[in-house]
Amino acid sequence: MGPVIEKETGHGATGDRILDAARVVFLEKGKAGARMHGIAAQAGINKALLHYYFRSKEDLYREVLTKELTVFFRGLIESIRPSGDIEALVRDFIDNYIDRLSRNPQVVRFLTWEVGSGGPVARNVIGGIVHGGEGVPIYRAFSNTVGDAARSGRIRPVDPQHLLFSLIGMCIYVFLAAPILSGVFPGVDTSDKTFLEKRKREIFDLVWYGIRAEKGGNDG
């Protein structure tokens, strides 16, 4: 049989162990707070070998973050069916965004560190995914569905860009602010399925009642 390829990362087995270890440490401490020694220890090797695989901390950080964000956002976008039905699209967006954030809380943490330091890596990755890709770029598809729904009189006219920002903001906020919110409002627990399902319903209701055309007003 041919060569056994496990993850197809372009690094060997040790290289992958390093990436996993680096992921854990960067997540916990951020880029500046992370220590190459700590990453090597987490990977079960020493600093010299670490530098043999990745020339510098900067390189390692960029590689870890790019991989993490690419996997997350590609998966997210692929899971949102580019439906022409605005109601289904909104529901799918909220469902998928929250589900995936709750299954990948480390992504929020990475984004937090990254934004703190100006976000150069995230800007590249996300920009490429949102506007690039095969077929119709995802943002274009979203924008079209919103525009069509408004023209057909199903919803009132809304700015698709702002609607998108509102959706993202409402979904991601509780994850972002979790360390603070959980101390201020007991009961807020972003790992609790019940809380998240309620959060989904509240967001969907707010948005759907907030954009749908009033009854009797759909004579576009």
Partner DNA sequence: GTCTATATCCTGATAGAC
Partner DNA sequence: GTCTATCAGGATATAGAC
Give the residues lining the site for a second copy (CB under 8 A): 29-33, 109, 112-113, 115-119, 122-123, 126-127, 130-131, 156, 158-159, 161-163, 165-166, 168-174, 176-177, 179-181, 183-185, 188, 198-199, 202-203, 205-211, 214-215
**Smallest distance from the beta carbon of 144 to a second copy, in angstroms?**
16
Residues 6+ away with beta carbon under 8 Å from 204: 90, 91, 94
Residue 23 contacts which entry, DNA, a second copy, none (Cβ below 5-8 A, type-dependent): none
Which of 30-38, 81-89, 127-135, 205-213 is the region at the interface with DNA (rule: CB under 7 A)?
30-38
Chosen from DNA, a second copy, none, partner binding at 152 (C-beta under 5 to 8 Å by type): none
Dihedral angle, C-alpha 179, 183, 187, 191, nearest 10 °: 20
Nearest distance from C-beta of residue 134 to a second copy, angstroms: 18
The piece of 32-40, 78-86, 101-109, 134-142 that touches DNA (CB under 7 A) is 32-40
Site for DNA contains 58 (CB under 7 A): yes
- Closest C-alpha to 57, from 18, 9, 28: 18
Nearer to a second copy, 7 or 37 (CB): 37
